Amino acid sequence: MPMALLVLIFAVAGFVGTHFLFSHIARPWAVATFGGSGFRIFYSLVATTFLVVILAAYHESPHGPMAWSPDNLGLQLVFDVAGYFAVALFMASLIGNPALVGANLNGLSTRQPSGVFLITRHPMMFAIAIWLVVHLLILPSLRDLIASTGLVVLALWGSWLQDAKKTAQSGREWGLWVSRTPFWPDLRQIGHLGLNWVVAVVPWLLATWMEMRIMQSPVGVWYLFPDLPY
């Protein structure tokens, strides 16, 4: 196996592992050692270091071979539709999301879910997971499988652990929120994204353009314009 792929495996495992470690098991020790602000700085440095190594190793890893050809209109349409949904989820998650770090949970037990929270209480994490899964549809290489699998595990397992942690911290506040909101996305409620379907247009175009630059061939909506520079 090429050294770059081994480094990528190490970096993804380190990024995922340290996230769980410092978010749960080792968090009390780290906060006691570094203080609240010091811990946030320390953890940011650790996460950033692993992320930089992931990006460098991903860039140096072999681009192929592909498990299947992404030159398929059906795959590209799936990528477009699911990817657009993921971007709309992400945009909706930026406003009024009690799952964000530092969010005030006071009174959450009396709040009735609306909008994106009728779909899932973890819209940001599911947006990331969905994007990475459909990313693999059009970039089915070993380096992408390694990187995407680790980050999908982080997003989904991290969301589940976050429910347990926030329930332990806030008790009734998060517990009642959990009872009123689904964990797995309820696709019957996608109409509640409302204007986020419109807000997502520009970020989705930018994200698919970046995918095209990574893949060095047209993908998604850009697949319909094969003569564009990339």
DSSP character at residue 71: -
Q: What is the mean pLDDT of residues 200-220?
A: 85
Between CA 52 and CA 148, with CA 84 as vertex, the angle to 5 degrees is 35
Tens digits of residue pLDDT in 122-170: 999 999 999 999 999 888 999 999 999 999 999 999 999 899 888 888 8
The full set of domain ranges for the chain reads 1-61, 66-224
List helix spans (H) across the chain: 3-20, 27-60, 73-93, 123-138, 142-170, 172-180, 196-199, 201-215
Estimate the share of the chain in helix, then strand, then coil, as percent rounded to the nearest 5: 75, 0, 25
CB 159 within 8 A of CB 125: yes
State the pLDDT at residue 163: 92
pLDDT > 90? residue 216: no
State the pLDDT at residue 230: 67
Tens digits of residue pLDDT in 39-53: 888 888 999 999 999
Give the mean pLDDT of the chain. Answer: 90
State the pLDDT at residue 69: 87
Cis bond before residue 65 (omega within 30° of 0): yes
Taking the C-alpha atoms of residue 144 and residue 47, their distance in angstroms, rounded to an integer, is 19
Q: Write down the residue that tokens 């140096």 correspond to.
A: 60
State the pLDDT at residue 178: 93
Q: How many CB atoms lie within 10 A of CB 224?
A: 11
Tens digits of residue pLDDT in 94-128: 999 999 877 888 889 899 999 999 999 999 999 99
Taking the C-alpha atoms of residue 89 and residue 80, their distance in angstroms, rounded to an integer, is 14
Higher pLDDT, 164 or 225: 164
State the pLDDT at residue 8: 95
Taking the C-alpha atoms of residue 39 and residue 160, their distance in angstroms, rounded to an integer, is 23
With bands split at pLDDT 50, 70 and 90, how would you rate the model's confidence at 91?
A: very high
Q: How many CB atoms lie within 10 A of CB 176?
A: 16
Taking the C-alpha atoms of residue 49 and residue 221, their distance in angstroms, rounded to an integer, is 33
Q: What is the mean pLDDT of residues 223-230?
A: 76
State the pLDDT at residue 210: 85
Tens digits of residue pLDDT in 50-90: 999 999 999 899 887 889 988 888 999 999 999 999 999 99
Taking the C-alpha atoms of residue 212 and residue 219, their distance in angstroms, rounded to an integer, is 5
Alpha carbon of 58 to those of 31, 61, 63, 66, 149: distances in Å? 32, 5, 9, 15, 13
Tens digits of residue pLDDT in 167-199: 888 888 999 999 999 999 999 999 999 999 999
